[in-house]
Amino acid sequence: MSNNDNSKAADRDGLEKIRRAALNWLTRRDYSRHEILIKLKTKGYSPKDSESVVTELVQTGLIDEHRFIENYIYWRRGKGYGPLRISMELQARGLTSDVIAERLQITDNAWFTEARKVWHKHFKGRLPSNFKDRAKQMRFLQYRGYTREHIESVFGSEDS
């Protein structure tokens, strides 16, 4: 076996190790392309080899960013987070705002209902009795990632 053949076999083994590591993570949950590349980098794998393996996984559909976004939105929405917070978290995971906006649909009327449910659960449906309490409740919803319109709709419907 020549030196060149040994080098090719080592490259194949290295790529296979990277592929196995990525598949191991993907069997547990979906990841974005960016997240997988970061995980591979922290494990010490070559960025060039990691990029080629991840590109192959994207082409075969094992890494699907649209599916990842859908699952992430469903998960975070179920935890009571609003569209602004979810969008920010997805951008931190290396996804573009265009792709996120396409899936997130911030103007969807369901977000108004979600904001109301989160407020009701946290504050037990108790309306603020003064400005300080109202500001506290509004900050809570803002921290959770709801828009000004979502927040105002919670208190607007309660006032009437």
DSSP string, 95-107: --HHHHHHHH-TT
Contact status, residue 20 vs residue 40, Cβ threshold 8 Å: no
Residue 82's φ and ψ, nearest 5 degrees, are: -95, 175
Structure letter (DSSP) for residue 126:
P
The string of pLDDT tens digits covering residues 50-95 is 999 999 999 999 999 999 999 999 999 999 999 999 999 999 999 9
CA distances from 119 to 28, 156, 158 (A): 32, 13, 11
Assigned fold of 3-63? Arc Repressor Mutant, subunit A (1.10.10)
Distance CA 155, CA 142 (A): 13
Determine the Cα angle at 141 with ends 151 and 116, to 5°. Answer: 60
Query: Whole-model pTM?
Result: 0.84
Q: How far is CA 84 from CA 90, 103, 125, 136, 141, in A?
A: 10, 13, 23, 19, 11
Tokens 């959770």 label which residue?
Answer: 144
Count of residues making up the chain = 160
Integer angstrom CA distances of residue 67 from 14, 64, 109, 160: 28, 5, 22, 41
Two tokens, residue 115: 């904001």
Pick the closest to residue 123 from 148, 110, 140, 108 (CA basis).
140
Q: 1-40, pLDDT tens digit by residue?
A: 455 555 566 677 788 999 999 999 999 999 999 999 999 9
In the chain, domain spans: 3-63, 64-160
Round to whole Å and give the CA distance between 67 and 75. Answer: 12
Average pLDDT over residues 114-125: 94
Would the pLDDT of 106 be above 90? no
